[in-house]
Structure 1
Amino acid sequence: MKFKLINTVIAVALAIALGSCTNDNDVVNATEGSGSLKIKFDHRYGDVDFIMGAPYTTSQGETIKVDNIKYIVSNIVLIKEEGGTYVYPKSKSYFIIKEQTPSLFTIELTDVPAGNYKTVKFGIGVDQEQFNLGAAGQGDFLAQAQSEGMMWSWSAGYKFLAFEGNFTSATVTDPTLFKVHTGQTGTNYNYTEVVLDMPDKALVRPTITPQIHVMADLSKILDGATKISLSPQPNIMGGVVLASITANVSTMFSVDHVHND
Structure 2
Amino acid sequence: MKQKLFLLALIAFTACSKETVTPDSSVKGTLSIQFDNIAGDRNLQLGTGVYTNAAGEKFSVDILKYFVSNISVKNSSGETYTVPQDSSYFLISEEDGTSQFVKVHVPEGEYTSLTFVLGVDSLRSTMDISKRTGVLDPSGGMDEGMYWGWNSGYIFLKMEGTSDAAPIDASGQHKFRYHIGGFGGYNAVTFNNIKTITVDLTAAGTAKVVDVRVPNIHLMADILKVFNGTTNISLAEWSTIMVSDYSVNVANNYQKMFTHDHTEN
* TM-score (norm: length of structure 2): 0.84
8 A contact 1:193–1:250 mirrored in 2: yes
Q: Answer yes or no: is 1:188 the counterpart of 2:191.
A: yes
8 A Cα contact 2:115 2:198, kept in partner: yes
CA-CA distance at 1:113 after TM superposition: 0.8
Q: Specify every segment of 5 or more residues in structure 1 that has no aligned partner in the other structure, as ranges.
A: 1-12
Choose from 23, 34, 37 the match for 1:30: 23
- Coordinate RMSD, CA, aligned: 2.5
| Equivalent in the alignment of 2:37 | 43
Partner of 2:73: 78
Aligned-partner residue type, residue 202 of structure 1: A
Could you tell me whether the CA contact under 8 Å between 2:166 and 2:235 is conserved in 1?
no
Q: How many residues align?
A: 241
Contact 2:91 2:135 in 1 (8 A): no
Match of 2:110 in 1: 116
- Which residue is 1:246 aligned to? 251
Q: Which residue of 2 aligns with 1:127?
A: 121
1:201 offset after TM fit, Å? 1.5
CA distance in 1, matches of 2:136, 2:94: 20
Deviates more, 1:32-41 or 1:136-145: 136-145
**Structure 1 match to 2:64:** 69
1:78 Cα deviation from its structure 2 partner: 0.7
| Gapped regions of structure 2 (runs ≥ 5) | 1-7
Q: Segments of 4+ in structure 1 off by > 4 A?
A: none
Tell me the TM-score normalized by structure 1. Answer: 0.85
Task: Please list the CA deviations of residues 20-65 of structure 1 after superposition, one character each: whole Å capped at 9, or x if unmatched.
Answer: 77x923x1x3334221010011111012221112111222232211
Contact 1:135–1:154 at 8 Å: present in 2 too? no
Aligned residues with identical type, % of pairs = 34
User: Counterpart of 2:145?
Assistant: 149
Residues 141 and 101 (structure 1), Cα distance of their counterparts in 2 relative to 1, 3 Å cut = closer
Aligned to 1:107: 102
Q: Is the 8 A contact 2:166 2:236 kept in 1?
A: no
CA contact (8 A) 2:167 2:175 kept: no
- The letter for the 2-side match of 1:133 is M
Higher strand share: 1
Q: Which has the larger radius of gyration?
A: 1
Counterpart of 2:54, as a letter, is S
